Amino acid sequence: MKIEWTRAAVGRRKFLKGATALGAAAALPAGMGSRAFAAADGVLRVRTYGDAQNMDPAHSVGVVEEEVHASIYNKLIQYKPGKEWDWQLDAAAMIEQASPTHLKFALRDDIGFTNGFGAMTADDVKFSFERIVAEATESPNKPDMGPLSHVEVTGEREGTIVLKEPFAPLWSIALPYITGNIVSKAAVEAAGGRIGADPVAESGPYLRDSWSPKEKTVLKRNPDWKGDTPAWDTIEVYPIDDENTAEIAFEAGELDFTRVAVGSVARYRDSVPNGGTLLEYPSLYYTWLGMNLDHPKLQNKKLRQAIQHAIDVPSIMEAAYYGAAQPSTGIIAPGLIGNRAKSLVPPAADFEKAAALLAESGEANVTLKLDTLNKTTFTTAAQVIQATLSQIGITVEINVLESGAFWASADNEDLQLVLNRYSMTPDPYYATSWFTTEQVGHWNWEQHSNAEFDQIHQAAFKESDLAKRDAMYQKAQDLMEESGAYRFLTHGATPVVHSAAVLPALRPDGQALLRYFGKA
Amino acid sequence: MFFYAARRFGLALLILFVAVTVMFLMIRAVPGDPVQIMLGPRATPELQARLTAELALDQPIIKQLMIFYGNMLQGDLGIDVFSGRSVTTIVFQQLPHTLWLIFASITWSASLGIALGAYAAAHPNTAIDRAAAAVSVSFVAAPAFVVALLSLLIFAVHLQWFPAIGAGEGFWDRLNHLVLPAFAIGLSWVGYIARLVRASMLEVMGESHVRTARAFGLSERRIVLIYALRIAILPVVTVIGVGMGFLLSSAVFAEIVFARPGLGKLVIDSITTRNYPIVMGSVLISTGLFVISTALADLINAWLDPRARAAR
C-alpha cells in the first residue's frame, strides 16, 4: 500500500477563517441586522391551515381556497364581517327575491377582469353559476347551488336567477360562499373550460401575485379596483398546518393573524404577545359520538340511551377543549336557523339514569370499540368517554386512526362507536344532508334512516318562512337524538389572535374575510 | 475504479427499484378508498369513476405497478389531482428546499464535528477531551424536535435573531431561514461525527506511519491535521452518505415545525390526502437521492482509500 504524503490544499487556519466568515455573513446581513416584522412593512401576514392550490371555484375544496378566491373574485353578495350572520352587496348593485324561485340582480358597472377580459357582465354570472351545476363540470360543490335551473340574462348587467324550486340556502351558502364566485366566461372558455392552479382572470380588490406551493400565496392590491380601497397593499397567506408552529410565528412577530389551539386560549386570555388581541368565536363545525345502528352490539335502544346519559360533556369540554368550547345541543350551531336551545339529553352525565337504562336493556359485560381521529383533542375526548362509560360498567376500547383511514369509515363494517366531527356552512340544510337515508353507506356512518327526518330535510330547504324552517330543523335534531345513535358534544371554538396593527374582518364563525381586513 | 463505479451504481438502481416497489405496494395497502378521500364527500360518482380510471386503481396491482414504471421511464410521474399540475414540476419545485436544508445541516455539523473530534483525539484523556465527550454525547442525546422547539422559542421568539417560519426569498434571506432548522437537525450529527472522528483518529494515531512522522520530528499539529485526520476522516464520508437518508427523514419534521416547503412536507400532506401520484413521485426522488448519496459516499471512499476498493 502506498500512501502519498501530500499537503491538503485547505489548511486548518484557512478552513476556520472561511467558516467563521461564512457564519458571520449568514448571521449579520440577513439575520440579526435586518429582521422585518409583520405589518410593519405594509404587508399583512396571515396563516391558513392548508395551501390554496386550485383557483377554480367549481373545484374549490373549502375554506382554504375560498379565502383566496373571495379576495381575487367577486360575488353578487358577500358575507358581512361581524358576530351575526348577514350579507352585503358586492358585485351586485341590486338583488331581490322576485318570487320564491326567481332572484333579480343588477351588476355594478365598475368591475372588470384582468388580462384584457373586459367588464363583468350578466353573461359571466350566468356562465359561472350554470357551470357549477353542469354535469360536464363535475363540480363537487354542485349541491351548494341546489335546484338552480338557469340564469336569464335580461341586459348587459341584469339578469334573473331561476330555481326549479325554492331554495333558502341560496342566500346563506350559494351566493355568498364558494359557488357564488363570478369568473370570466371568456377567460375560462379560452382556458379550455377549466381553471387550474393559476387564475385565468381576476376581478377582486386583490390579485394573486404569486404562489409558492407549501410556502405562501401573495395577494397584491388590484390597481384597477374601483370599489372601496382595501387597507393592505399586500397580503401574504402562509399555509401552516400545525397550530403550535403558527403560534410561535405569531409570537415571533412573523404573523399578524392566526387561529390558535384551544389549549392555548387560557394563556392568551392572560396576555397576547406584542400587544396583540385574542378573539374567541364559536365554530360551526359539530362534534358528536355516533353509534352504528346496524352493528349487532348496538341494536338495543336502551343500551344506546344509557351511553347517551353516561357521557359527561362538561368533562370533555374541560379536558379536551380546556374550557374554550361549549356543549352543543345538536348539529346546528347557535346563530343559525334551527339551533335548539337545549338538547333532549342534558350535557351533564346522569349516571343513575344511565345505569338504570343499562339494567333495563338487559345487556351485561358490554365492550365497545370507539374509533377516533389521531388528534389530541379527539383522543382526549375519547379517553373521557372511556372513563365515564366505565362508571356504568361499559368497557370502551379506543381505536385511533390517521385521517385517511378514519374518513374511510363508511367501509368499516365493524364500526361501533365513532367520535366524529363534520365541517359546516352557515345553513342548517348542509348539516342535515349527511344524516339522510340516501347517505347511508357514504357519510351517514350511524346508518340512521328515518322517513320523517328525510321528509323534513327535503321540505326545510324550500321553506321560506323562517319560523317554520327553524321548527323543522329543531324537530330533525330531536329525531336524531331520539334514535339513540347520537350524543352531541360541541361545536368547538375558533380562537384567533391578531397583532396590534390589524383590524380583522371575520365571519361569525371566526373565518377570515381577507378583503375586508383593516389597519388599526 | 470504473468497474467498481459501474457495479456500485447497478446496485443503486436495484435498491431504488426494490424500495420504490415496496413503497408502491405499501401505500396501496393503506386502508380507505383513495379516490373518496382525495375528492371529498361531495364528489360526483362520475368524477370518482373517472379518477379511479385515470389512476388505474381499477386495475390489478401488478398492472398498476407496470403502468407506474412504464410512465416513469417516459419521465411521466402523473398529474396532481388537486391542482392539475404535473407531479414532476411539483416535486422538483419542492426538492431544492429540502436539499438546501440537508446540505446546510450536514455542512455545519460535519465541520464542527470533525474539528471537535480531532481536537479531542489530539488531547486524549485530558479535561478538554472529557468535556468534548460530554458535549458530543449530549448533542447525540438531544431529541431534534426538542432542539427545534427550544431554538424557535429562544432565537425566533425571545431574541428574534432568526425567522421562525418559511424558506425566505433571495440568497441571504434563504440562508437566514436555514439557520434554525439546520441547527435543529444537524446538532445530533455534530456529536455523532465528533465521536466517530475521535475514535478513528485515536486508532490512526497509533499506527506506524504516525510514529514515523513523529520520529522525523514533525510538529504534533501537522501530524494530527495533515497525516492522521486525512485517514481518520474516511469513515465520516461513509457516514455522511448514509446520514443523507436520516436527514431526509429529519427534514420532514423540520419542514413541519418551521413551516418550510420541501419534499417531507409534501409527502406527509400527500399521504394524508391519499394523493398517490405525488406520494410516489416524492418517494421516487427521495429514495433516489438516498441511494445516489450512499453510492457516491462509497465511491469517494474507494477513491480516497484504495483498501476499500480492493476489499470489494
Kindly report, residue by residue over B28-60, the tens digit of the pLDDT. Answer: 887 777 887 777 777 777 888 888 888 888 889
> What pLDDT is recorded for position A16?
37
- Rounded mean pLDDT, B83-107: 91
A414 class by beta-carbon count within 10 Å (0-12 exposed, 13-18 middle, 19+ buried): exposed
CB contact under 8 A, B43 and A140: yes
Query: Residue range B155-177: average pLDDT?
Result: 91
Instruction: Give domain A12-48+211-281+495-519's CATH architecture.
Output: 3-Layer(aba) Sandwich (3.40)
Give me the domains of chain B, ranges plus CATH numbers.
32-76 (no CATH), 94-310 (1.10.3720.10)
Which pLDDT score is estimated for B296?
83
- pLDDT score of A37: 53
Residue B108 in this model has a pLDDT that exceeds 60: yes
Contact B94, A213 (CB under 8 A): yes
What is the pLDDT at residue A27?
Answer: 37
Out of B32, B259, B306, whose CB is closest to A249?
Answer: B259
CATH of A74-195 among 3.90.76.10, 1.10.3430.10, 1.10.10.1800, 3.40.50.720: 3.90.76.10
Query: Domain residue spans in chain A?
Result: 12-48+211-281+495-519, 74-195, 286-490
Partners of A373 in beta bridges? A401
Residue B1 has pLDDT above 50, yes or no: yes
Interface contact flag, A61 B43, Cβ < 8 Å: no
Grid coordinates representing B143? 431529541
CB distance A61–B256 less than 8 Å? no
Report the relative pairing of strands A43-48 and A234-239 from DSSP bridges: parallel
Q: Which of A34-43, A66-75, B101-110, B179-188 has the lowest mean pLDDT?
A: A34-43
Q: Tell me whether residues A216 and B166 touch, CB distance under 8 A.
A: yes
Give yes or no for residue B64 having a pLDDT over 70: yes
For chain A (length 520 residues), average pLDDT per consecutive 10? 38 42 39 49 91 92 92 97 95 96 97 96 98 91 92 97 95 95 97 92 97 94 95 95 91 95 93 94 95 97 97 96 94 95 97 96 95 94 96 96 85 93 92 94 93 96 93 98 97 95 95 95
What pLDDT, on the 0 to 100 scale, is given for residue B78?
A: 85
Query: Which residues does chain B have within 8 Å of residue A30's beta carbon, measured at their own beta carbons?
Result: 168, 172-173, 175-176
Q: What integer is the mean pLDDT of B50-72?
A: 88
Who's near B70: CB < 8 A, 6+ residues apart? none
Strand A493-498 and strand A277-282: the pairing is antiparallel
Q: Name the percent of chain B lying above pLDDT 70.
A: 97
- Please name the member of B84, B115, B168 whose beta carbon is closest to the beta carbon of A196: B84
pLDDT at site B23: 85
Taking CB atoms and an 8 Å cut-off, how many pairs form between chains A and B? 159
- Rounded to 10 deg, the angle between the B144-151 and B171-205 helix axes is 140
The pLDDT assigned to B16 comes to 87
Task: Report residue B234's pLDDT band, with 50, 70 and 90 as the boundaries.
Answer: confident
Is the pLDDT assigned to residue B307 strictly greater than 80?
A: no
* The CATH number, out of the four listed (3.30.70.20, 3.40.50.360, 3.40.50.920, 3.10.105.10), of the domain defined by the range A286-490: 3.10.105.10
Please classify residue B58 by burial: count the beta carbons closer than 10 Å to its beta carbon, then call 0-12 exposed, 13-18 middle and 19+ buried: exposed
The edge-to-edge listing of strands for the beta sheet with A486-490 is A395-401, A367-373, A417-422, A286-291, A486-490
**Separation between Cα atoms, residue B52 and residue A496, nearest integer Å:** 39
| Min distance A257 CA to chain B CA atoms (Å) | 14
Contact across the interface for A140 and B46, Cβ inside 8 Å: no
